[in-house]
């Protein structure tokens, strides 16, 4: 039983980290979220067979939201987010490819959080509208319109002329 | 941002039509709805353009987060995973969470001790490092493939396929520039097809990339040939 739970978590791990990274925009903070979700899984009772994936994604999302809202969550997490923001301001010493990916991540962070989480779950992780609405406790209609608004906004931003064209 | 200048084909659609396109993209339509949307896309170039752009958003976001997807697992997390594996066999104490944060440093300490004391015996180190090596190799392969693509876009005529294989990793690609577009500001962009095989996993996609300088290309759009969330 726990072996299969373990296998599921290991298999999900890359996606969980991608989701956490998309939510908070900082790799270190994302690692904290995933680590904390796994620790909570370890501490939680009951078999989650059949919905472990939804449980983990939901836990990561709730930890992130709590981290922004309440004092209960570690200062370290908030510190990481502030640090990541500062790092982005320092500017870039990366390759072209990674600058471009930085831009996409920055645009994702500019989306309202409620649109961003839905886009990540549906557009990036491939969950259905129903699964997403269950994970976030939202009506399907809300999920549907949020994913559409998020994509439309990103299309606008991504197709606008880049400011930093070079010869 | 300037709203007028940033108008896209998606902005020309009604809210209802926008929702339909998104639902189509996400495989959420039932019955004959998908067929009806496909007919609509064939007849309405603006809707078709919007659909491609929406698709591109997902793949760009996925690509931008790839770094986290392929990142090596750190030992702390590896130890927690090992605890999950062991927990019902009674060999590892399970931390009790009561809503506070006291357990966090204790959990980390326990994880560290576990890793040091029994990690080798339980095989966690071996599992983690094998995992790490594979993910690191995949990441490095992608970086090499991006450079190969930039070279193909720089030097290869449209319609010609370039075969590339990594000398260091189990990775190869077929790269084909499809056509060249001259943009209003005299920049050149190229549409291309790419089939990437990393560690036996095949990815096919089309993209649009614009030239920044010699062998320097910026991808503006990537459209996967099939929607994939493969883990490795």
Nearest residue of chain A to residue B145 (CA atoms) = A97
Find residues 41-60 of chain A whose CB sits inside 8 Å of chain B: 41-44
pLDDT the model gives residue B160: 81
Q: Which residues of chain B have pLDDT under 50?
A: 1-2, 89-126, 227-232
What residues of A are in contact with residue B5 (Cβ under 8 Å)? Answer: 160-161
Q: Which residues of chain A have pLDDT under 50?
A: 1, 71-73, 90-95, 164-167
What residues of B are in contact with residue A167 (Cβ under 8 Å)? Answer: 213
Min Cα–Cα distance to chain A from B93, Å? 10
Min Cα–Cα distance to chain B from A3, Å? 5
pLDDT the model gives residue A87: 60
pLDDT the model gives residue A70: 53
**Phi, psi of B204, rounded to the nearest 5 degrees:** -120, 135
Pairwise CB contact (< 8 Å): A27 & B23: no
**Phi, psi of B174, rounded to the nearest 5 degrees:** -110, 125
Span B131-165, pLDDT tens digits: 666 677 777 788 888 888 988 888 777 888 888 88
**H/E run at residue A31:** helix A27-43
pLDDT the model gives residue B122: 43
pLDDT the model gives residue B69: 87
Does residue A95 belong to any structural domain of this protein?
no
Cβ within 8 Å of residue B198, ≥6 positions away:
B138, B141, B142, B145, B169, B170, B171
B77 closest CB neighbour out of A27, A34, A152: A34
Does residue A80 belong to any structural domain of this protein?
no
Q: Which of A70, A85, A100 is the last residue of a domain?
A: A70
For chain B, the domains span 15-70, 136-224
pLDDT the model gives residue A161: 58
Does residue A16 belong to any structural domain of this protein?
yes
What residues of A are in contact with residue B185 (Cβ under 8 Å)? Answer: 161, 165
Q: Which of A14, A40, A70 is the last residue of a domain?
A: A70
Does residue A1 belong to any structural domain of this protein?
yes
Does residue A96 belong to any structural domain of this protein?
no
Range(s) of the domain holding residue A56 = 1-70
Taking phi over 0 as left and psi of -120 to 50 as alpha, with beta for the rest, B7 belongs to beta
Same domain for A116 and A54: no
Q: What CATH number should be reported for the domain holding residue A31?
A: 1.10.1740
Give this prediction's pTM: 0.60
Does residue A76 belong to any structural domain of this protein?
no
pLDDT the model gives residue B97: 39
Single out the residue of B76, B87, B150, B142 nearest to residue B112, CA to CA: B76
pLDDT the model gives residue A97: 54
Pairwise CB contact (< 8 Å): B65 & A124: yes
> With contact defined as beta carbons under 8 Å apart, do A48 and A5 qualify?
yes
Total of domains in chain A: 2
ipTM: 0.83
Residue of A1, A76, A145, A148 best to disrupt the B interface, most CBs of B under 10 A: A148
Strands lying side by side in the sheet with B171-182? B162-165, B171-182, B188-198, B201-213, B216-224
pLDDT the model gives residue A162: 55
Min Cα–Cα distance to chain B from A85, Å? 16
> With contact defined as beta carbons under 8 Å apart, do B56 and B221 qualify?
yes
CB pairs under 8 A between A and B: 191
Does residue A158 belong to any structural domain of this protein?
yes
pLDDT the model gives residue A10: 86
Whether B81 contacts chain A with CB within 8 A = yes
Does residue A7 belong to any structural domain of this protein?
yes
Same domain for A120 and A58: no
Q: What CATH number should be reported for the domain holding residue A148?
A: 1.10.10.10
pLDDT the model gives residue B5: 56
Q: What class, spelled out in words, does domain B136-224 have in CATH? A: alpha beta
């Amino acid at each position: 039983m726990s072996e299969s739970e373990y296998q599921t978590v290991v298999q999900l791990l890359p996606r969980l980290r991608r989701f956490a990274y998309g939510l908070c925009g900082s790799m270190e903070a994302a690692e904290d979220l995933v680590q904390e979700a796994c620790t909570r899984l370890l501490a939680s009772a009951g078999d989650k067979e059949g919905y472990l994936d939804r449980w983990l994604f939901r836990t990561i999302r709730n930890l992130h939201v709590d981290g922004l809202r309440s004092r209960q969550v570690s200062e370290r997490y908030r510190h990481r987010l502030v640090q990541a923001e500062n790092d982005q301001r320092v500017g870039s010493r990366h390759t072209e490819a990674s600058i471009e990916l930085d831009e996409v991540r920055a645009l994702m962070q500019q989306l309202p959080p409620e649109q961003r989480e839905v886009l990540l779950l549906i557009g990036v992780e491939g969950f259905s509208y129903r699964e997403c609405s269950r994970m976030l406790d939202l009506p399907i209609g809300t999920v549907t319109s949020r994913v559409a608004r998020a994509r439309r906004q990103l299309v606008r931003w991504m197709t606008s002329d880049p400011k930093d064209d070079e010869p | 941002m300037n709203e007028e200048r940033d108008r896209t084909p998606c902005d020309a659609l009604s809210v209802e039509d926008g929702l339909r396109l998104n639902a189509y993209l996400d495989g959420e339509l039932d019955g004959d709805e998908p067929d009806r949307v496909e007919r609509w896309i064939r007849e309405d170039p603006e809707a078709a353009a919007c659909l491609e752009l929406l698709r591109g958003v997902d793949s760009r976001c996925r690509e931008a987060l790839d770094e986290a997807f392929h990142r090596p697992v750190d030992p702390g997390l590896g130890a927690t995973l090992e605890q999950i594996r062991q927990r019902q066999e009674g060999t590892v104490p399970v931390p009790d969470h009561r809503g506070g944060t006291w357990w966090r440093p204790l959990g980390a300490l326990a994880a560290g001790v576990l890793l040091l004391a029994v990690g080798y015996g339980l095989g966690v180190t071996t599992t983690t490092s094998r995992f790490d090596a594979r993910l690191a190799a995949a990441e490095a392969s992608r970086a090499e493939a991006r450079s190969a693509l930039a070279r193909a876009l720089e030097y290869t005529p449209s319609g010609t396929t370039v075969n590339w294989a990594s000398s260091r990793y189990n990775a190869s690609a077929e790269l084909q520039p499809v056509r060249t577009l001259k943009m209003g500001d005299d920049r050149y962009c190229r549409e291309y097809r790419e089939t990437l095989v990393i560690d036996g996993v095949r990815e096919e996609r089309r993209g649009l990339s614009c030239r920044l300088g010699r062998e320097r290309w910026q991808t503006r759009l990537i459209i996967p040939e099939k929607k994939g969330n493969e883990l490795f």
